[in-house]
Structure 1
Amino acid sequence: MEEEKQTIHVLMVAFSSQGHINPMLRLGKQLQNKGLHVTLAVTEIFLHRIATNHHSTTATTTAAAADNQIPSISGIDIASFSDGLSLEYDRKSNLDTYMKTLAEFGPVNLTSLVTSLGCDITRPKKFSCIINNPFVPWVADVASRLGIPCGMLWIQPCTLFAIYHGFYNSPEDFPTKENPEKSVKLPGLPLLQTSDLPSFVLPFNVFGSLANVFFESIKNIHKLRWVMANSFYELEKEVIDSMSKFVVIKGVGPLVPATLLGQDDHEGRDFVGIDMWKADDRCIEWLNQKDPNSVIYVSFGSLVVLSKTQMESIATALRESKRPFLWVVKPSEFQVTEGAGELPKGFLDETKEQGLVVPWCAQIMVLSHKSIACFVTHCGWNSMLETISAGVPVIAYPMWTDQPTNAKLMADVFGVGLRLRPNNDGFFESETIKEYIEEIMDGPRSVEFRAKATEWKSMARDAVACGGSSDRNIQEFIDDIVKLSSSHTIKCNVDSSTKCQSS
C-alpha cells in the first residue's frame, strides 16, 4: 500500500508587532504557494488585537473564536502562546521589562504550543523547521531542545546584520562614552559616522533589552541552519559578499505585496498582511485628482510619534512649499507628551485646498499611485522596501534604531533621495525640510533621483521573478527542508511543479 503523504510543516515565530509580522506572513505565503504548510505563532495579546482591532489587507482572515475554527491570515494558520502577562497589562509602559518577561516565559510557553500542535488528534503538525526573527532570539534555543532545525528571517537590511556582528565581536571599534564620535569602517560598507549607526550600538543607548536581543541573535548564529533577509542580493551585494566568511545570509525579499513587484495575483499573494488601523478611503480618490509626480507623501509608520516641535516644523514646510501633500497623522491615542502627534492649530483650514491629512492610509496603494513624487519617511525598513519597489524617491527623516543606517543607505548608497540632519539642538528645521522638498522634486538632481529609483524598482522585480536571486534562495531553502524531511522518513506533498521554470 502506498505510504501516506504528509505535508511539510513550517513554524514561524515573530515579535508581535505589525512591522515584524507582515514580512513573516509574506515569506510564509511564498512557502505555502510552493506546497509547504505554514503556521505563524504570535503572542496571545497580539492574536486578541487581531481579532478585535485589525484590518487585514486580505479578505481571508478568520476570527477564530466565533466558530472554533483555526484563526488564519491568507491561509496561514495562526497559533498563540502566552508572553507571561495578562491581556490587560500595558506592554508599552516599560519596554525593557516586557522584553525580559517575554524572554523568560516565551520559551516555556512556545515549547508547550509546539508540543500541543504535534499532539492534536485532528490536525497533528510535526514541524520540519522553525523560523524566528532577531527580536525573539530565544526561539533558536527552543528549536534546539526540540530537535527541530531553525532559521532566522532578518527583518532589517543586511547592512544592519553586518554592523551588529561587528559590534558584538569587536565593540572597541565602535563609539564609546570616552569617544562618542568615533567613525566605523566595516567590510563592504562606506565609512559610518555616529549619526549613521543604529541607536542600539551607541554608548548612550537607553534600551538595554533591545541591544541584548541583537547580541543573542548574533551569539545564536551557530544554532541556525538558515539565515534569510528581507532584502535582495543586488541591493546589498557588497555587504552580503563581505559577510560570507562569517555567515551565509541570503536575500529573499523584498517581502512586499505582489502589486508593487508587477506580479499577477493568481496565487493569492497580494496584500498579504495586516493593518492595525483602518485606512482612510479618501486617499486614492484625492490622489486621482492630482497631476503625475506632484504629491508629497508624509508618513512615519505605526510606532513613531513626533514631538510638538517636529509636527510644527513639518507643517510649516509643507504649507510653504505650496505643493499638494498627503500626510498620515495617527490618532491622538498615540500621544506620549503634550502636543505630540498633533497638528498645529489652524493648519487644516490653512491647507484645505492644498493637502489631505488622514489618520492612516493603504501605503501600498499610495506609493504605487502615479501622482506621488516623493516620500518623507522615518526610514523603517518595511517602508523603505516598499518605496524601493514602487520606485519613489525619499526624503529621509530618521529617528532611532535602524532608521539612521537605513537613511544612510537610501541617500548615500542607493542614491534615491536626501537625508535630513538635525541641527545642534537635535531639531529638523522647517526651512531645511522645505529646501529638500524643492530639491528632490525640481532641483538639479531630481532627474537623477527618479532614474535611480526606477532602476532599483526594476532590480527588485527581477530579484523576485522566476529565476531571480531571491526566488532561487527561497527555492534552495525549500529544497533543503524537503531533503531534511526525507532523511527523517517524512513524506511530503511538495509539488516539484511549483518550482518556477525560467525561460
Structure 2
Amino acid sequence: MEKQAENSSRLVLVLYPFQGHINPMLQLATIFHAKGYSITIIHPEFNSPNPSNHPQFTFISVPDKLLESKVSLSPGDFMNLVLALNKNCAAPFKKCLKQMLDDEHPCERIAGVIYDGLMYFAQTVADDLGLPGISMRPTAAAMLLFAVIPQIEQESVFDRQIPELQPLELTQMVTSMSKSPTDAMTEVRAVSLNAMKRSAGMIANSIEFLENAALSKIREYSPVPVFTIGPFHKLAPSSSSSLLQEEADCISWLDKQAPKSVIYVSFGSMASLSKQDIVEIAWGLANSEQPFLWVIRPGLVLGSEGTELLPDGFLETVGDRGCIVKWAPQKEVLAHCAVGGFWTHCGWNSTLESVSEGVPMLCRPCFGDQFLNMRYICYIWKTGLELENELERGKIEGAIKTLLVNIEGKEKRNKAMEFKGKTELCLREGGSSSISLDEFTKSILSV
C-alpha cells in the first residue's frame, strides 16, 4: 500500500496498450511520483503491464472486449483498434473513476487524468466528472501540427510559413493521408481533435531545442498549452516496463568491445522484415567488419523466431564479433561506451534514447510517424544516415562504415555528441524540460 501523505494529490494515467506507448506513460508516472503524487495506472486487459515492476503505483485493469470485437492487432488495422478500445473502455473507465472519487480520502484529491492521446475517451469521462484531462503525446511534437492546424490550411502553412521544416516533407504527408482516408481514420481524427480542444493541456515527450520550429507553430494554433517534459526516460529513475524479456547478458559482451565500435541493430516491437531482408542484413553486418549487437525478436519475420533464417556460414564468419539476442535493455545498451551507432526503425522512443546518449543513427523507417522521425534525424538534425530502397548487403556494409568510422560520417558523429550535451542542459534545473515540468504542475495540477 502507498503511504498516505497529508493533503496529497493523486494522478490517474490511462495507457494505450502497446510497447511504444506503455514505456513513456510509465516513465511519466515515475516523474510525477517523484514530485510527490500518488499514481493510479488504468489500462486495458490486453498487453497488461507487470505491476511488480512498479510497486509504488496502483494498477487497475478495465475490460477491453478486443477478443469479442475481433479487431486486428496489426499496424495496418491501427485505426479500427483505436476505435474499438475507445468504444469498449469508456464505460468501465467511468465506473472505475467514479468509484475512486466516491472512495476519495479526505486528505487526498484526484488532481487530474493524464491519458495517451489515442485513448481520448478519457477526456470525455474527465469532463463528465469535473476533472482536468491532459493528453500525453508519445510521438514527435511535429505530429501535432496535423491536429492543431485546420486541414484546409495545412498545405499553405507547411509550404510557406515554416521553412525550417521543409525537409520533413509535411505537405507530402498531408497528400498521402488524404488520398484514401478510411471511415475509421476520419472518425478518430474528429473525435480526438475534439477531445484535445477540451483538455487542460498536452504533454509532449520532446525537447524544446529538438523541435523549436514545430513547437512555435503548434503553440500559435493550439487552443491549449503544450508542455515539453522530455525525454521522459532521462527524468525517470530506471525501471523496466518491457513486455518482452530483456537479455542483459549482452551488456557483458559490450564490455569486451572497443569504445564506439559497435553497431546496435533493433527495429522495435512492431516492425516486420522479410526472410531476404534478414539475409542481406546478416551479410552486410558481417562484411562491415564492425562488432554488432543485433536484436532479432520472435515475429520480426512473420511466423518465425528469426534466428533460424540466418544464412549458412554467417555465424561461423562473424564468431565473437557478433551478439544476437531476442530483446535487449535498450537504454542501457545505448548508454554503453562501446556503442558507436544505432540502426533503428526510427520509433520516437528509440530516437530520443539515441539522441540522449549521443549515438548517431542509421535509419530504416517502417510505417507511420517513423518517416517523419527519420527526416528529422537525417535532414534537420543531421545526426544520422537514411538507408533507402531495398536492403542490399553492399549498401548496408558501406552505411555502417560511414556511420561508425569513415571521415564522411564524422560530422554526424560530432553532431550526435553535441545533441547529447544540449539534452543534458535541458534536463538540469533551469533547463527547458525542468521549467516545463514545473510550469505544468503549477498551472494545471494545482487548480
Fold agreement, TM-score > 0.5: yes
Matched, 1:159 2:160: no
Q: Which runs of no fewer than 5 residues in structure 2 stay unpaired?
A: none
2:327 is the alignment partner of 1:360: yes
Report if the CA contact (8 A) 1:163-1:186 is conserved: no
Report the equivalent of 2:11: 10
Alignment partner, residue 188 of structure 2: 213
Moved more, 388-397 or 441-450: 441-450
- Following superposition of structure 1 onto structure 2, how do residues 55-70 of structure 1 map, counting pairs within 5 Å? 61-62=51-52
Aligned residue identity for 1:445: E
Q: 1:279 aligns to what?
A: 246
Q: How do residues 175-324 of structure 1 correspond to structure 2 at under 5 angstroms?
A: 187=162, 188-193=164-169, 197=173, 201=177, 203=179, 209=184, 212-247=187-222, 248-257=225-234, 269-324=236-291
Q: Partners in 1 of 2:196 and 2:167 — Cα distance?
A: 26
Q: Is the 8 A contact 1:299 1:377 kept in 2?
A: yes
- Of residues 380, 387, 406, the one that matches 1:443 is 406
Once residues 270 and 168 of structure 2 are traced to their aligned partners in structure 1, the CA distance between those partners, rounded to angstroms, is 26
Q: 1:149 aligned to 2:158?
A: no
Contact between 2:112 and 2:445, CA under 8 Å: does it hold in 1? no
Aligned with 2:233: secondary structure? coil
Shift of 1:142: 1.5
Give TM-score scaled by structure 1 length: 0.79
- 2:86, 2:308 → 1: CA distance? 35
Q: Distance in 1 between matches of 2:8 and 2:131?
A: 16
1:343 corresponding residue in structure 2? 309
Report the Cα distance in structure 1 between the residues aligned to 2:280 and 2:180, rounded to whole angstroms. Answer: 26
* Distance of 1:351 and 1:76 partners within structure 2: 44
Provide the rounded CA distance (Å) in 2 between the counterparts of 1:184 and 1:429.
Answer: 34
Q: CA deviation at 1:6?
A: 2.8
Question: 1:351 Cα shift?
Answer: 2.1
Residue 410, structure 1, aligned to residue 377, structure 2: yes
Residue identity in the other structure for 2:401? E
- Structure 2 distance, partners of 1:430, 1:195, is 33
| Shift in Å, 1:325 | 0.7
Q: How far has the Cα of 1:352 moved from its partner? A: 2.3
Distance in 1 between the 2:335 and 2:305 partners?
32
Q: 2:192 and 2:69 mapped to 1: Cα distance?
A: 29
SS at match of 1:9: strand
- Is 1:395–1:436's contact at 8 Å kept on the other side of the alignment? yes
Alpha-carbon distance, 1:129 to partner: 1.0
- Per the TM alignment, residue 214 of structure 1 is displaced from its structure 2 partner at its CA by 4.5
Q: Residues 278 and 208 from structure 1, CA distance in 2 versus in 1: closer, same or farther, beyond 3 angstroms?
A: farther
How far apart are 1:134 and its partner, in Å?
A: 1.7
**Partner deviation per Cα, 1:311-359 (whole Å, 9 max, x = no partner):** 222112111112111100002x554267978633323233223211111
Identity fraction in percent: 26
How far apart, CA to CA, are the structure 2 residues paired with 1:384 and 1:463? 17
C-alpha RMSD over aligned residues: 3.0
SS across alignment from 1:270: coil
Cα distance in 1, alignment partners of residues 88 and 427 from structure 2: 37
8 Å contact from structure 1 (residues 7, 36) kept in 2: yes
Do the aligned partners of residues 121 and 440 (structure 1) sit closer, same or farther apart at CA in structure 2, a change above 3 Å counting? Answer: closer
Distance 1:19 1:472, change over 3 A: same
Match of 2:96 in 1: 113
Amino acid of the residue matched to residue 12 of structure 2? L
Contact 2:6-2:107 within 8 A present in 1 as well: no
SS in 2 for 1:467: coil
How far the C-alpha of 1:470 sits from its partner, in A, is 1.0
Q: Please, which moves more after superposition, 475-484 or 238-247?
A: 475-484
Alignment of 1:71-110 (within 5 A): 73=54, 75-86=56-67, 92=73, 95-110=78-93
Write the distance in 2 (CA, Å) between the matches of 1:211 and 1:391: 39
Change (3 A) 1:310 1:199: farther
Q: How far 1:409 moved relative to its partner?
A: 0.2
* Counterpart residue identity of residue 385, structure 1: L
Q: 1:453 to 1:334 in 2, by over 3 A?
A: closer
How many residues end up aligned between the 2 structures? 437
SS in 2 for 1:151: strand
Q: Is the 8 A contact 1:166 1:186 kept in 2?
A: no
8 Å Cα contact 1:10/1:39 also seen in 2: yes
SS in 2 for 1:227: strand
In structure 2, relative to structure 1, the CA distance for the partners of 1:481 and 1:251 (3 Å cut) is closer
* CA shift digits 1:249-308 (9 cap, x unpaired): 2210001145xxxxxxxxxx4213411122223211111111111111100011112111
Correspondence for 2:429: 466
Once the 2 structures are TM-superposed, how far is the Cα of residue 391 of structure 1 from its aligned partner?
0.6
State the AA in 2 paired with 1:221.
M
Q: Is the aligned partner of 1:375 residue 2:350?
A: no
Question: Quick check: 1:196–1:405 contact (8 Å CA) kept in 2?
Answer: no
Q: Secondary structure at the match of 2:319?
A: coil
Asked if the contact 1:118/1:124 (under 8 Å) is kept, the reply is no
Cα shift at 1:172: 6.3
1:400 paired residue among 367, 372, 397 = 367
Quote the Cα distance in structure 2 between the aligned partners of 1:342 and 1:195: 42
Partner of 2:40: 39
